Amino acid sequence: MPTPICMGLLGGTFDPFHLGHLYIAQEILTRLPIISIQCIPCRQPPHRPPPVASTADRLAMIQLGIETHPKFSVNPLEIYRPGPSYTIDTLKTLHRKEPHTIFCFILGEDAWAAFYEWHHYDEILNYCHLIVVSRTESSPMPWPTPWLAQHETLDPQALTQHTHGKIFRQVLPYCPISATAIRAQLAQGKHPRDQLPTPVLNYIVMHHLYQAIES
């Protein structure tokens, strides 16, 4: 049997792809035993309004944003799958295609707090580990203690020693970059160069994206 590799999965609308996404991905690669990260843009988030930019534009922005990062890639499987983008469906597809890969799904505190609302959330840990990006070690993990104790680990090496079923909290300094705030600035004619990779900003300007869409 091939030696399992540990791959990070970073989902989201990426509307647009910004330096906060890069920051999280780079820190996860540096701190944890993960060899690469796939960005998985969501076609239609189940619990949020639809993205502003088109699927083609969002894919292009991700590709531009990661072009100098060889350990990052983009996987468009949710983009090309009709209907709401459910994480459980994505994980099942990835597991069928790469049965010897260990997948670590990365999510922030806000997403983690609403994890119980996800479609078939109770099946997700059958196909991956969860990496919860937290701002502080004292941030509460909003789940019943027995269930959390069954899955939570403090040892990052557990992500490679088990194929699935672990929850690891990775504390990272807070990154204040927000896609909503970026879109608002762009709608006002501003160019937030300190929040976007230069190729992404150039693409947005060239294609006149996010103009006058925020009040």
Q: Each residue of 126-139: pLDDT tens digit?
A: 999 999 999 766 55
pLDDT of 1 strictly over 70: no
pLDDT of residue 113: 85
The answer to whether the CB of 79 falls within 8 A of the CB of 117 is no
Inter-CA distances, 129 with 126, 132, 161, 176, Å: 8, 10, 11, 26
Model confidence band, residue 144 (pLDDT cutoffs 50, 70, 90): low
pLDDT of residue 215: 41
pLDDT of residue 149: 83
Domain 5-175 has CATH 3.90.550.10: no
pLDDT of residue 214: 44
Mean pLDDT across the stretch 95-124?
Answer: 93
The candidate with the shortest Cα–Cα distance to 164, out of 11, 6, 3, 55, is 6
Global confidence as pTM? 0.92
Q: How far apart are the first and last CA of the chain?
A: 55
Model confidence band, residue 49 (pLDDT cutoffs 50, 70, 90): confident
Could you read off the pLDDT of 54-99 as tens digits, one per residue? 999 999 999 999 999 999 999 999 999 988 889 999 999 999 999 9
Length of the chain: 215
